[in-house]
Chain A
Amino acid sequence: MTDPTPTASPPLLAIRGLSKAFLGVQALDGVDFTVRHGEIHALLGENGAGKSTLIKTLTGVYQRDAGTVTLEGRAIAPRGVEEAQRLHIGTVYQEVNLLPNLSVAENLFLGRQPMRFGLVDRGAMRRRARAVLMPYGLSLDVTAPLGRFSVATQQIVAIARAVDMSAKVLILDEPTASLDTQEVAVLFKVMRTLRSRGIGIVFVTHFLDQVYALCDRITVLRNGRLVGERRTAELPRLDLVAMMLGRELEAAAHRIALPADDAEEDARPPLVRFRGYGKARSVEPFDLDIRPGEVVGLAGLLGSGRTETARLVFGMDRADRGEAAVDGRAVRLRGPRDAIQLGFGFCPEDRKKEGIVGALSVRENIILALQARQGWLRPLPRRRQEEIADRFIRLLDIRTPHAEQPIQFLSGGNQQKALLARWLATEPRLLILDEPTRGIDVGAHAEIIRLIERLCADGMALLVVSSELEEIVAYSRRVVVLRDRRHVAELRGGEVAVDRIVAAIASEPAVAGEPRP
């Protein structure tokens, strides 16, 4: 790690007291952020921390409410990405924001093509494009459409464009999210080269291994506030994870000890059994057993592969390797319909997009999965539908004026309860819940946790993804911890505690300093 030599001159980029609110919600609250010449600076935080708001406010996509931004001592206030680029702040997003149908050269010089006699000088453009890409080790056909190249190459072209447009600060927003190991290595080489040229790089990522492999400093945000800025070399992983999750680790170890019959319990045959199950670029192959009457928690940082694991188990995404078995019999999960036939249910993280059918009534939403499993030729009589809907509305205390209310008019917590009702109506054997308590009010939150415990006591198997570690610890018999798309630890019985989970998330990978596979 090369530390920049401290100088009296102002830092490259200094953000002081930056605030931004949306409709009264404080997305950024007096945040300071400093980027120095020739450093790679990781900007980290969980969901809702304010990373993307910070970047968008910095590049002028949003207008700040308060605070100052100075670049080399000069106050700036760009009103858009274009203007930010002119002010030497370049941004490259995970989804490359270039034009895939134009050639590489055209993308590099879009809006600033070399001209001759009032026309675009294509020859000069090609020559300059090759020259610009040379330092990046890219020798490719610059006349070919950009879309023909890999995401990694497109990203490097985007970086080259930003740097060629005299960027002094380069913001890379999750550039590695869809790259494989080799591509990540190439990108890292480019980033190190740019650092040595004095460019300040802001690196947003979810992969802690990459942070430690590459970054000089780390700034952590949480809930729109600055938690702190540290030198990477001086910040142990455990402390970093604690900063991100916002926990005092000493106070975390409280849990009623489980009966010591874990070994005996584990001898029971599992309901579902996954071996070497995984999907390329989604989650590394994992083993997972879930027994009846058992809650298995999936814990990890955002982007660690929690959701991906849940989706593979339900067949929402199709695994490309490994085996699955239910009751000891091999099964194939080609889609949700297969999983439902096997007695699985799944409440997705994005309720609105993948869960509720907004314009349909609460009744129709509740009976949908049961009806779909029965097939269209065996309709549930209206009376039966109403009985089922009414029963679950009462049982789960779903607050709705009547069962015919379109579900989109219910609050988040009540929508979540209706989705739970949808699956409970099918009497599932395995219920998969992805962030069941996200975005719902405190009362419904507690009810859903009580419900999870009750279902488990009734002998149902549950697989629960949650960012709320206390919550996971409260109801899980076992906790699988994920990091960088890999199952890294399985805690059971007395080991299930917040500090143990945090420690597992922060644990060093086998080969330190290597980019994530």
Chain B
Amino acid sequence: MTRSVSGPSRTLPQYGALAAVLLANWLLFPDFFSIRLQDGRLFGSLIDVLNRGAPVALLAIGMTMVIATRGVDLSVGAVMAISGAVAATLTQAGWGLAPVLAASLAAGLLCGLWNGLLVAVLRIQPIVATLILMVAGRGIAQLVTEGQIVTFTSPGLAFIGSGSFLTVPMPVVITAILLGVTALLVRMTALGLMIEAVGVNRLSSAGAGVNTPVVLIAVYVWCGLCAAVAGLVVAADIRGADANNAGLWLELDAILAVVVGGTSLLGGRFGLLLSVVGALTIQAMNTGILLSGFKPEFNLIVKAGVLMVVLLLQSPTLTLFLPRPANPRPVRAPAKPESPSPSAGA
């Protein structure tokens, strides 16, 4: 499954940026790569980057496919708040873990369905369509929590945020699983091709028989699901739901992660793993700035500077100077002579 977006020269900036940020962190903070095992769980700055980066990475997985269809989902932060609010409120009301998780994920799916219908059926511009839920979603979350910060003490739910599986923190495990499932879903089926086709040219795709409304609805639903998972992880971590602040502005970090990962906002080719790499790059930068002891005022400026370098490295004008990939497979010669009729047996 070599996609042009993941070809060696095209992915260099993404992995290079992550490596450079990690290297800088190591120079500033020699203990950066040290990892220790304590109480059956891994600890260390690197683990911290993975763990703290999980929510944005989760959002970025869903956002990648939305952006690949030439859309954007501004509501993911608000959907996180909704799913967290649902989980916390129902847990406090005495529901078991399984129904809580189901209800919370269903809330995310429903939000995604709403966005998808607005974009695919009513043909509202994605940025406007998802703005509705971005604004309304936080209100919905506040209605669910009745304006309170709802806390809970369910060890089962808290495990999702702070537990570990085979020494790896649960948020990291969950992110890896969701990444794997999503990748299988789009790359082992024809969904990936259709998402890219719709993103590049919706009219042509529809003319070729691609069911464009269904493809669009599917990506927004999946994006809603990813946001709900992220919301669960955050709520489980702090053992409570803060409808005002959970996931606040994270939609912007998620979009940034996708862009840093090299998926164009103009739609088309996408790389799920690269978006996660983008999310981790951003998180590594945050962690590094924190560790370095820079004044907090500098944080945003340093972050902006580094991101600009990454984006410049991806600009088509600059990529002209980078080494080109070797020519892919040439057109194969026929194994045996065949009928000259083009309509014979495709």
Contact = CB atoms under 8 A, between A and B. Distances in A.
Q: Do A and B come from one complex?
A: yes
Interface of A: 316, 335-337, 340, 346, 348, 353-361, 364, 368-380, 382, 386-388, 390-396, 400-404, 406, 421-422, 424-427, 451, 454-455, 458, 460
B328 interface: yes
A427 B344 CA distance: 8
B207 A402 contact: no
Given A360-B196, A427-B346, A403 B204 contact: no
Interface in B14-37: none
Contact of A424 (B329, B338, B342): B342
B158 to A, nearest CB: 38
B207 A316 contact: yes
Given A359-B200, A364-B193, 11 more contacts: A336-B209, A353-B203, A357-B204, A358-B201, A360-B193, A368-B209, A372-B208, A375-B190, A390-B331, A422-B208, A454-B340
A231 to B, nearest CB: 44
B32 to A, nearest CB: 39
- Chain A CB within 10 A, most for which of B207, B328, B343: B207
B296 interface: no
Interface in B307-346: 327-332, 334, 338, 340-346
Given A395-B342, A404-B4, A425-B346, A348 B207 contact: yes
B189 interface: yes
A368 B207 CA distance: 10
| Chain B contact surface mostly | loop
A355 B204 CA distance: 5
Contact of A391 (B203, B209, B334): B334
Given A354-B207, A404-B328, A392 B201 contact: no
B205 interface: yes
Given A348-B207, A379-B190, A357 B201 contact: yes
Contact of A357 (B189, B197, B341, B346): B197
A370 B190 CA distance: 11
- Chain B CB within 10 A, most for which of A359, A382, A403: A359
Interface in B192-223: 193-194, 196-197, 200-201, 203-211, 215
A451 B269 CA distance: 33
Contacts of A460: 343
- Chain B CB within 10 A, most for which of A371, A372, A390: A372
B143 to A, nearest CB: 36
A376 B330 contact: no
Nearest to A362: B331
A368 B196 contact: no
Interface residues of B, number: 39
Contact of B343 (A340, A372, A424): A424
Interface in B33-62: none
- Chain A CB within 10 A, most for which of B191, B210, B268, B334: B210
B98 interface: no
22 contacts: A336-B209, A353-B204, A354-B204, A356-B201, A356-B204, A357-B204, A359-B200, A359-B269, A364-B193, A368-B210, A370-B346, A371-B190, A371-B194, A372-B194, A372-B205, A372-B211, A376-B189, A376-B194, A386-B332, A403-B331, A458-B341, A458-B343
A402 B211 CA distance: 28
Nearest to B199: A359
Given A390-B332, A402-B331, A404-B4, A373 B209 contact: yes
B238 to A, nearest CB: 38
A368 B342 CA distance: 17
B201 A455 contact: no
B209 A386 contact: no
B301 interface: no
Contacts, number: 130
Contacts of B122: none
A388 B332 CA distance: 11
B93 interface: no
A449 to B, nearest CB: 14
Contact of B208 (A369, A375, A454): A369
Contacts of A403: 328-329, 331
A346 B328 CA distance: 30
Contacts of A427: 343, 345-346
Contacts of B166: none
B208 A394 contact: no
A392 B346 CA distance: 9
Contacts of B269: 359
Given A378-B190, A402-B329, A396 B207 contact: no
Given A358-B200, A372-B194, A454 B207 contact: no
B108 to A, nearest CB: 22
Contacts of B328: 402-404
B77 to A, nearest CB: 29
A375 B342 CA distance: 23
Contacts of A357: 197, 200-201, 204-205, 208
A360 B331 contact: no
Given A369-B208, A369-B209, A370-B346, A360 B268 contact: yes
